[in-house]
């Protein structure tokens, strides 16, 4: 029996399709959010269905009542988070662009979740600095510009309670994060999105991971994700 050693996006897509058919039935509100996003010309970089379900289950597992999201886009992941919240729960989501925030609010309203979500517009780091830990967050999801990821993580630590979960998306970058900075080669396989270990975003992710190696305030790991969209990963941390 031969063993395949080279997988393609088509293989990942078939795997996604199988598991989603069993565990993630079609959802009108989520489909509408994606369609509205495309209709308004937003980039198609939202989390996948599988990732969204993972985020929702994570929030439910810790009984999160206050969630902070850095990077709203069209509100697709916001819908997943808001559905995990109890009636008195709150999601604060930060978005740089007015036009993206407008689409996100439309999608959240269509999903019947507007009352649980506060969409704040402006540079995320500036907005984060205005928030206080008086009402600490139970979960933070960072899915914004990679160059600021270490700064976002620092603010997330400040704003969360002990035992809170902090998740950073897109930390693997098709394997480029693990390469040494002096290696200037880029991935040349069949996956999309060619990154270099010298890209500023990749270097920022490496900086964060290296900081976490000696950080006594959190315990962290990275979950590799091979799906139809790409080969990437999420950093998953708990505040001690």
Can you give the residue ranges of every domain in the chain? 9-179+195-239
Q: Above 60 in pLDDT, residue 125? A: yes
Instruction: List pLDDT tens digits, range 139-196.
Output: 999 999 989 999 999 999 999 999 999 999 988 766 667 665 555 444 444 444 444 5
Q: Residue 162: phi, psi to the nearest 5? A: -65, 135
Per-residue pLDDT band for 15 (boundaries 50, 70, 90) equals confident
CA distance 87 to 59: 14
Region 127-141: mean pLDDT is 98
Residue 172 has what DSSP assignment? S
The reported pTM is 0.89
What is the rounded CA–CA span in Å between residue 237 and residue 240?
9
The answer, yes or no, to whether residue 112 has pLDDT greater than 70, is yes
Q: Where are the alpha helices (DSSP H) in the chain?
A: 9-23, 28-39, 49-61, 76-84, 98-110, 124-130, 149-159, 200-213
| Cβ-based neighbour number of residue 199 at 10 Å | 18
pLDDT tops 70 at residue 198 = no
What is the fold of 9-179+195-239?
A: Rossmann fold (3.40.50)
Query: Quick check: 174 and 232 in contact, CB under 8 A?
Result: yes
SS3 label, residue 119: strand
Tokens at 90, concatenated: 């709150």
Distance CA(171)–CA(202), nearest Å, equals 8
Backbone angles phi, psi at 3, to 5 degrees: -115, 125
Q: How many other CB atoms sit within 10 Å of the CB of residue 52? A: 21
């Amino acid at each position: 029996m031969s063993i395949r050693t080279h997988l393609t996006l088509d293989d990942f897509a078939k795997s996604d399709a199988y598991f989603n058919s069993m565990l993630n039935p079609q959802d009108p509100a989520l489909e509408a959010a994606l369609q509205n996003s495309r209709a308004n010309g937003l980039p198609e970089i939202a989390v996948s269905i599988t990732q969204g379900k993972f985020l929702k289950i994570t929030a439910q597992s810790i009984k999160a009542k206050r969630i902070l999201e850095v990077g709203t886009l069209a509100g697709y992941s916001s819908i997943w988070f808001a559905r995990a919240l109890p009636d008195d729960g709150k999601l604060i989501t930060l978005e740089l662009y007015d036009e993206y925030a407008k689409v996100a609010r439309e999608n959240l309203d269509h999903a019947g979740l507007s009352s649980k979500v506060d969409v704040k517009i402006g540079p995320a780091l500036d907005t984060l600095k205005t928030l206080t830990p008086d009402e600490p967050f139970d979960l933070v999801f960072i899915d914004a510009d990679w160059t600021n990821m270490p700064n976002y993580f620092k603010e997330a630590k400040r704003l969360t309670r002990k035992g809170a979960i902090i998740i950073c998306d897109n930390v693997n970058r098709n394997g480029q994060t693990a390469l040494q900075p002096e290696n200037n080669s880029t991935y040349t396989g069949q996956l999309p999105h060619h990154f270099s270990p010298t890209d500023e975003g990749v270097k920022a992710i490496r900086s964060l991971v290296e900081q976490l190696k000696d950080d006594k305030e959190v315990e962290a790991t990275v979950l590799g994700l091979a799906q139809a969209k790409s080969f990437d990963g999420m950093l998953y941390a708990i505040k001690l």
